[in-house]
Every structure is written in structure tokens, then in C-alpha cells.
Amino acid sequence: MATLRFVLGDQLSRELSSLKDLEEGDVVLMCEVADETRYVRHHKRKIAFLFAAMRHFAEDLRDRGVTVDYVTLDDGDNTGSFSGELKRAVARHSPDAVVVTEPGEWRVLQMMEDWREELDVPVEIRPDDRFVCSHERFEAWAEGLKELRMEFFYREMRKETGYLMEGDGPVEGKWNFDHSNREPLKQGITPPERPTYSVDEITQEVLDLVAGRFGNHFGKLDDFDYPVSRRQALHYLNWFVDEALPKFGTYQDAMREGAPLLFHSHLSGLINCGLIDPREACDRAEAAWRAGDAPINAVEGFIRQIIGWREFVRGVYWREMPGYERSNKLLAQRKLPDFFWTGETELNCLHQCIREVEASAYNHHIQRLMVLGNFCLLCGFDPREVQEWYLTVYHDAYEWVEMPNVVGMILYADGGLFASKPYAASANYIDKMSDYCGNCRYSPKVKTGEGACPFNLLYWDFVARNEDRLKGNPRMNRTYATLERMDAGKVETIRKEAAEFLDGLVASGDY
């Protein structure tokens, strides 16, 4: 029986469930479709990365003798949708069955369910076993819990995978070494030089296509040098473990102007599209620790991001959908300002992060959470607009990972489903963990008046305006006790200056 196996752009793994029983005569369908490039106006670099990775993956399959039916975006007969291209492929190949691996996004799963009614051949939707935790396993863990906490989920995943375990307990007697991972970058600490990857003919064709078709999308394509093949991805993983992982843990929360990657792996895009399996990344990191080549705080922190946080947010996404994207417990409604697309703001921390994501489609997690995300939270930006921005600009962003991070972690819009309190902070945090404030017109030391950092004003304004919603949170007790002790005139001044700042934000809504 000939089977048509439909592989999506974030499923670029030879071990994909829909490919594991590939037989001679089967056809693998891959397609670049307009609908997936414009449901949000994705960063040019994100589109280029995925199309280049898809085309290299198709070549890898062909080199193994697999028949691949690959539809490019500029194919004159391209219908522009997954459904349209699957129907055309079924007509071309007359398969006995269609096999797919479940997608990462709710809307695509609905599409796949429709295929079972729309096509004249059976459609099998297989689980995505590239993840450590199945939907059923997550549901079993979460059942009956009013609040979901990643730390406890993570411990379960450690036990089940055996990573960094000694018998029934964690190595060195601790589950979490995060207390050792909060150091600012000291003078004289220099990040390692990263490998770059030359643009071959396949990638250049993609870059030309994206430049021509998506010239009005956010972002830049200059100096494209990211891995796009399985071979390059493995090289990058090995480089990270050997050169950057040893200091990743200590400085993972640090930020430095002009050094966007520091010791971060920059592997999330490769893992999320399938070029690197999450288990092999964890295997390499653990092996480095056991060999004495990387410290426990770095390796534990890296593995926690993968089998802890990554798996956790996926579980939350599928458990809470549909409807999770509409969460807005803090009733935030302000429009996202234009400078989130231009970077033209006098707040240097925001300027640096936005210009970096414009150039590379990447920020590390602290920039996303404690600079950009913190600002969005304090200002009260509409959660739907913030979700769309994060999904648009990052090359590793898919709805399953972006939405819970924005709704739950960044904006507290779900009312604390998995974040124990809002991740709100004043200018002091950014000043401690970065050198951004030294080149800013605002001072983190000034609380009100001329030169006061807006983060200071916005923090207390956020606390005051959300008192009815947050005062009952035990982790906010000290904050509200401090607010109650503040001089009433000082609070009035803070709120007045915060309002003036917020009213001065320009949001045209034209992007």
C-alpha cells in the first residue's frame, strides 16, 4: 500500500512518528504555503529559516532514497494552504492512506480533523512523540490541581527520564540550581565566538524569495548565518556544549549591550522545528557534566529549560485550548506602541532588545520576560496584541510555546494558573542584570520627576491600579504593605507621571 506522509515545517525530524514506518513507494509531501506566512506577518528571517530548513530536510530525505513531493511557495499551482496542497497531492499520487503527525497548534489540528471528512482516503493522525510528556501524561499530572507549577512537573520529568538522577533522588541533592544562575556579566567576561554557516545555493534561493515576497514584513535578512540543515544543527549543538555551556548557567540572566547571545545556546529554533531532538540536547549536556566539562548549575538549568519549561508550556497550551488566548484577568486594553516595530524609543533597554530581534529574530529569555515582557505587563498592553507581537518576531515562536509564555508567564492574564505572581519589576532589576542603563537618558536611581526611569513609575502604578485583583496574592503581601506605607502625595505623583508617560505612547495600529 502506498502512503502519503505529510510533513509540516516544524516536523523536520527523521524520527518523526509519521515517518518511522516509511516504506518503498511511499511519498513524503512537504509544502510552503502562503497561509502559514501571513496568519501573522512573520519576521522575514523566521520565514527564511524555516523554508531553508525544510528544503534541506527534503534533500536529506531524497539522499536516503525517499520520494519527496515538495511544493515551493512560488509554484504557480500552489493553492496557498495546507488543505489545498494535500488535496492536490492526493489527486497526483492516489495513495491508499494519508499519515500525519499531530501539529503543534490548535488551529492546524482542526484542519487535520477536517481532512478526515474532506478526503476520500483514510487520514491517520499520530502523536508527536518527540516530546517527553504526552498529552495524556500531562493531563494525568495536572488532574485535580487548581494551580500548575512547573517545578513540581519538572521533578516528575526528571524521575521519568533519569536525567541528573542518582537512584530516586537528584544528583548533588538538589532539584534546582537556579540560585547560582543569576549573576550579572562581570567586566572581563567575554562570550565565545560563535560558528557561522555559509549560505549555499538552496538557502540563497530562499533568501531571494523571501526578500521579494515579504519585503514589507518586520525584520532583516542581512548576514544570514544560522544553521539550516541537520548536519549544521548538530555542529552547533556540539559547539554550544563544548564552548558556551560551562558558563551558561551563571550568566543566563545577564544582558550586555551589543552581545545578544552571550552564553545562551540559541538552539530553541532548531529544537522547535525538529532539526535537533530535545533528548539528544539533554544527553549531550548531561554527558558534559558527568565528564567534568560543565558545572551542575549550567547543565541543570539547560535541561530544566527543555524537559521542564518547554514540556510544561506545551502541556498548558493543549490543556487550556481553545479559548486560552482570550485570557485577560487584569483587564489590560492599551495598544502596543509603534516603537515595538521600530525600536525608536529613549528607553535604551527596549531599544536594544527590539533592534536585536529586528536583526536576528531572537532575544534570550530574560530579555523577553524581564525587559520587553515586564514593560508590556506594567503598561497594561492588550494580551492579544502582545501575543501576536511575540509570535511575529521570534524565529523559534509557535503558538503552543508563545501563548502560555505570554498569557501566563509574562502578562499574568490567566490570573495565576501557573505563575505564582506577576513578574513585575522596577528599573532596579534591569540595572542590576545589564549595562543598558548606563547609556540611557533615564536613571534607574530616580523614582519621580526629571530623568526618572519609566519602569520605576510604571511598577508602582501597576501595583496600585491592580490592587483589587492582586492584593490577596500571598506573594504580593510585602509589595502592598510597602504601598500602604508610602506617602499619599508620593503615590499621587507616581501615578500622575506614569499616566503622562502612558498617554504619550503612540500606537497607530498600522503594522
Examine the domain organization and report whether 122 and 162 are in the same domain.
Answer: no
Examine the domain organization and report whether 270 and 400 are in the same domain.
Answer: no
Examine the domain organization and report whether 90 and 235 are in the same domain.
Answer: no
- What cell numbers appear for 103 in the block? 501539529
**Residue 510 resides in a domain:** no
Asked whether the predicted pLDDT for residue 509 surpasses 80, the reply is no
Q: How far is CA 207 from the centre of its chain?
A: 23
Examine the domain organization and report whether 179 and 233 are in the same domain.
Answer: yes
> CA-CA distance, 310 to 320, in Å (whole number)?
16
Examine the domain organization and report whether 485 and 444 are in the same domain.
Answer: yes
Examine the domain organization and report whether 268 and 311 are in the same domain.
Answer: yes
**Residue 252 resides in a domain:** yes
List pLDDT tens digits, range 335-363.
999 999 999 999 999 999 999 999 999 99
Kindly tell me the sign of the dihedral angle through the C-alpha atoms of 478, 482, 484, 485: positive
Q: Which amino acid is at 191?
A: P
Residue where a domain terminates, one of 126, 144, 179: 126
**Residue 204 resides in a domain:** no
Q: Does the global pTM surpass 0.75? A: yes
What is the rounded (10 degree) CA torsion for 171, 174, 179, 182?
Answer: 30
List pLDDT tens digits, range 410-468.
999 999 999 999 999 999 999 999 999 999 999 999 999 999 999 999 999 999 999 99
Examine the domain organization and report whether 168 and 146 are in the same domain.
Answer: yes
Q: How far is CA 452 from the centre of its chain?
A: 32
Q: What is the pLDDT of residue 1?
A: 61
Examine the domain organization and report whether 121 and 180 are in the same domain.
Answer: no
**Residue 207 resides in a domain:** no
List pLDDT tens digits, range 415-428.
999 999 999 999 99
Alpha helices (H) along 405-487: 427-433, 454-465, 467-470, 477-485
What is the CATH classification number for the domain harbouring 69?
Answer: 3.40.50.620
What is the CATH classification number for the domain harbouring 187?
Answer: 1.25.40.80
Residue where a domain terminates, one of 69, 95, 126: 126
Yes or no: say if 434 and 256 are a contact pair by the CB < 8 Å rule: yes
Examine the domain organization and report whether 353 and 237 are in the same domain.
Answer: no
- DSSP-derived secondary structure for 473-509: -GGGHHHHHHHHHS-HHHHHHHHHHHHHHHHT-----
Kindly state the average pLDDT of the residues 187-194: 94
Asked whether the predicted pLDDT for residue 508 surpasses 90, the reply is no
**Residue 52 resides in a domain:** yes
**Residue 349 resides in a domain:** yes
Residue where a domain terminates, one of 126, 159, 188: 126
Give me the number of domains the chain comprises.
Answer: 3
- Residue 20, CA distances (Å) to 30, 113, 128, 279 in order: 16, 22, 12, 17
- Which residue segment(s) compose the domain that 169 sits in? 135-199+229-320
**Residue 219 resides in a domain:** no
